[in-house]
């Protein structure tokens, strides 16, 4: 994905959805390493680990145990070392409030997970295309 060789961080508690994202990325020849955090807390641990390279993008589910996606976003977007990492919400939630809160917290995109696998691949393709074409500021 992208011009960057940095990893992609997927924050997702559903194993099947995580495998679908992994398969979709492989199918469209994205070679970035995919790191999977099972919830928001694990995602933050990963992002705060000094030895770990920061991801080029975070794919975020909203409905998770322990710390949901909105809580995760609130913390990430208020952390000056993390707030520039683009976050795309990838969720089953069609809730308008979730969408509004996500954009208020500065997400770069909001995608509803399709049930159909081929449509899921198309969503991942769209995310990839956007990130390949977008210009983001370099990390400090």
CATH number for 8-132 (one of 3.40.50.2300, 3.40.190.10, 3.40.50.720, 3.40.980.10): it is 3.40.50.2300
Helix (H) / strand (E) containing 91: strand 87-91
The predicted-structure confidence for 36-93, as pLDDT tens digits, reads as follows 999 999 999 999 998 888 999 999 999 998 899 999 999 999 999 999 999 999 998 8
Question: Where exactly are the structural domains of the chain?
Answer: 8-132
How far apart, in whole angstroms, are the C-alpha atoms of residue 92 and residue 105? Answer: 19
Per residue in 5-34, pLDDT (tens digit) is 889 999 999 999 999 999 999 999 888 899
The per-residue pLDDT for 3 is 59
At residue 9, φ and ψ (nearest 5 deg) are: -105, 120
pTM: 0.89
> Which residues, listed in sequence order, are joined to residue 87 by a DSSP beta bridge?
58
pLDDT of residue 92: 87
pLDDT at 140: 47
User: Does position 133 have pLDDT exceeding 90, yes or no?
Assistant: no
Q: Is 56 exposed, middle or buried (0-12, 13-18, 19+ CB in 10 A)?
A: buried
| Rounded alpha-carbon distances, angstroms, from residue 45 to 48, 62, 71, 75, 127 | 5, 17, 14, 12, 25
């Amino acid at each position: 994905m992208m011009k960057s060789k940095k990893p992609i961080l997927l924050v997702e508690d559903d194993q099947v959805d995580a495998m679908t994202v992994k398969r979709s990325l492989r199918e469209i020849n994205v070679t970035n390493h995919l790191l999977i955090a099972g919830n928001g807390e694990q995602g933050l641990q990963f992002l705060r680990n000094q030895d770990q390279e920061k991801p080029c993008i975070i794919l975020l589910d909203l409905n998770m145990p322990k710390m949901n996606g909105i809580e995760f976003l609130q913390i990430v977007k208020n952390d000056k070392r993390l707030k520039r990492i683009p976050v795309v919400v990838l969720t089953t939630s069609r809730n308008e409030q979730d969408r509004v809160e996500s954009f208020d917290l500065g997400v770069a995109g909001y995608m509803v997970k399709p049930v159909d696998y081929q449509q899921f691949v198309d969503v991942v393709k769209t995310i990839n295309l956007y990130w390949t074409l977008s210009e983001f500021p370099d990390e400090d």
